Amino acid sequence: MAIEEILASKKPYEGRILNLRVDTVMKPSGTVTTREIVEHTDSVVVVAVDGEANVLLVRQYRSALGKVLVELPAGKTEPNEHHLQTAHRELQEETGYAAKDMEELGGFYAGPGYSTEYLHLYHASDLALTKEQPHPDEIMDVFRVPLSDIPAMIEKGDICDAKSVAGLLRVIHK
C-alpha cells in the first residue's frame, strides 16, 4: 500500500489537552496537500459492571456539542501514568467507585482521519463505593443501567458517543 510522504510539518497551536499539527504531504499520485492532525495523548474508557449486571454511566455536559451526553467513564492518560492506573483513577474520579478487577479489552482510535488519540478499553468489576467523592472538577450525574437495556439505549440514540457505544458493545459481546 502506498503512503503519503510528509514534506513539512508545523504546530500552529499547542494546548493543555491537545496540539494541532498541520502536515504538508505528497500523495502517491504526486499531488501535494495538507493534513490537519489533532495530537492527543492516549486515553482510557471503562465499562464498569456491578454484581447485579448494571453498568455505571455518567451524564455530562459537552460544550463542543452544547448538550448533555450519556457516556462511560473515560479520560486521558497523564504523563508517566500506565493505562491501567488511568482506568482506576478515572473510574474513581468520575463515579466515586473503585474496582477490584480491571480487565483490558484492547482498544480503538477515536478518529483516525484527524486525531492520534487511542482509547484503551477496560472492563471493571467487583465495584465498591469509595470514601472519596468524584473529583470536584467532574460535574456529572452517575447512574446505573441494566446491561440488558444498553442495546435499546444505543438503538434509540440515548447513548451516542463512539467510545461508549464501542465499549459497551464489546463488553456485551464478550
For residues 93-107, one letter each, b for 16 or more C-beta atoms within 10 angstroms of the residue's C-beta and e for the rest, the string is bbbbbbbeebeeeeb
Place of cell 438503538: 155
pLDDT reported for residue 37: 98
pTM confidence score:
0.92
Domain segments of the chain: what residues?
5-40, 43-172
pLDDT reported for residue 135: 62
CATH entry, 43-172, from 3.40.50.1370, 3.30.56.10, 3.90.79.10, 3.30.390.50: 3.90.79.10
Strand ranges inside 18-90, DSSP E:
18-26, 32-40, 43-48, 54-62, 67-71, 74-76
Chain centre to alpha carbon of residue 174: 19
Per-residue pLDDT in tens (0 to 9) along the chain, 174 residues: 889 999 999 999 999 999 999 999 999 999 999 999 999 999 999 999 999 999 999 999 999 999 999 999 999 999 999 999 999 999 999 999 999 999 999 999 999 999 999 999 999 999 999 876 666 666 678 999 999 999 999 999 999 999 999 999 999 998
Measured CA to CA, the distance from residue 3 to residue 115 in angstroms comes to 17
Measured CA to CA, the distance from residue 25 to residue 137 in angstroms comes to 40
